[in-house]
């Protein structure tokens, strides 16, 4: 009996220590900032320029920008919780080859940007990127918001509150806390977690076409969390299930053309709708 008592006490002590550790170090488990800073040219991306954007709380962000060819939309791109812009060069190059414009930011703490990542900070970074696009003359209806993994939370929040042509989500979650529960189910993560990225709430206010692309072998964000988010989205919406796909799928050779076709279709539909409204008059 004494042995059992001490075993329970030891387990409780270990458990409480683990809970405290998750609470204190949670952002180290959520964000993996990469400080590498390369210009687009040095990274092998020709046709793009490096920018510096100011956030409304005093941080300075590194961004890459390339204009679209005539009549094409701007892709406003939000990366995931690891790596840097340089890691997305193949995807950026493929988007630019299709004639899309590109504006991609390095979040605070990533790739030469000042500050440290938090949910509030990343949302401010998203606002700064959208504001820069508008300052450069891109109308909201010509902006396609694209978010990968954690960046899907930023893109979804922007789409819920800003004008856009479409929303594309690569390997998204319903919320970051749902991901944490799937990974650390023994712990009270919903109570502990500060940066929850509640896309499941924001998606209800998105009124533009939504594409969700997800692989059924994703070991980072389970596909059922993407399905949960998709079920909450308004029409029109499309779920692109990628059999055998791991984490991040829209850059795959057999997926990328389908994503681009969807973007083009959504962009044409938006333009046709606006033309019809204009023809009918006030």
Question: From CA 165, how far away is CA 271, in angstroms rounded?
Answer: 9
89-136 tens-digit pLDDT? 999 999 999 999 999 999 999 999 999 999 999 999 999 999 999 999
Residue 228, pLDDT above cutoff 70: yes
176-197 tens-digit pLDDT? 999 988 887 665 677 678 799 9
The yes/no answer on whether domain 33-280 falls in CATH 3.40.50.1820 is: yes
Instruction: Determine which helix (DSSP H) or strand (DSSP E) holds 8, and give its type and residue range.
Output: helix 2-30
Question: From CA 160, how far away is CA 180, in angstroms rounded?
Answer: 24
pTM for this model (two decimals): 0.90
Choose among 117, 104, 49, 46: nearest CA to 74: 104
* pLDDT on residue 272: 74
* pLDDT on residue 35: 85
Which residues contact residue 222 at a Cβ distance below 8 angstroms, ignoring those fewer than 6 apart? 179, 182
* pLDDT on residue 183: 80
* pLDDT on residue 21: 52
130 burial via Cβ count (<10 Å: 0-12, 13-18, 19+): buried
């Amino acid at each position: 009996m004494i042995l059992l008592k001490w075993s329970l006490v030891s387990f409780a002590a270990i458990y409480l220590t683990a809970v405290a550790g998750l609470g204190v170090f949670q952002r180290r488990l959520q964000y993996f900032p990469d400080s590498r800073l390369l210009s687009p040219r040095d990274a092998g991306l020709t046709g793009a320029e490096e920018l510096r954007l100011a956030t409304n709380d005093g941080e300075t962000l590194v961004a890459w920008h390339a204009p679209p060819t005539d009549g094409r939309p701007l892709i406003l791109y939000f990366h995931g919780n690891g790596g840097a812009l340089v890691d997305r060069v193949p995807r950026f190059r493929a988007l630019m080859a299709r004639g899309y414009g590109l504006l991609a930011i390095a979040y605070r703490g990533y790739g030469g940007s000042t500050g440290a990542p938090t949910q509030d900070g990343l949302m401010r970074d998203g606002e700064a990127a959208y504001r820069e696009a508008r300052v450069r003359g891109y109308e909201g209806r010509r902006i396609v918001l694209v978010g990968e993994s954690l960046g899907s939370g930023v893109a979804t929040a922007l789409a819920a509150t800003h004008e856009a042509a479409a929303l594309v989500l690569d390997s998204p979650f319903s919320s970051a806390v749902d991901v944490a529960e799937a990974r650390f189910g023994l712990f009270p993560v919903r109570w502990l977690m500060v940066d929850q990225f509640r896309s499941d709430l924001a998606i209800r206010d998105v009124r533009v076409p939504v594409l969700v692309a997800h692989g059924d072998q994703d070991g980072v964000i389970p596909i059922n969390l993407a399905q949960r988010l998709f079920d909450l989205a308004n029409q029109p919406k499309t779920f692109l299930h990628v059999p055998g796909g791991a984490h991040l799928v829209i850059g795959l050779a057999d997926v990328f053309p389908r994503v681009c076709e969807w973007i083009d279709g959504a962009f044409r539909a938006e333009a046709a709708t606006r033309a019809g409204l204009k023809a009918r008059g006030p």
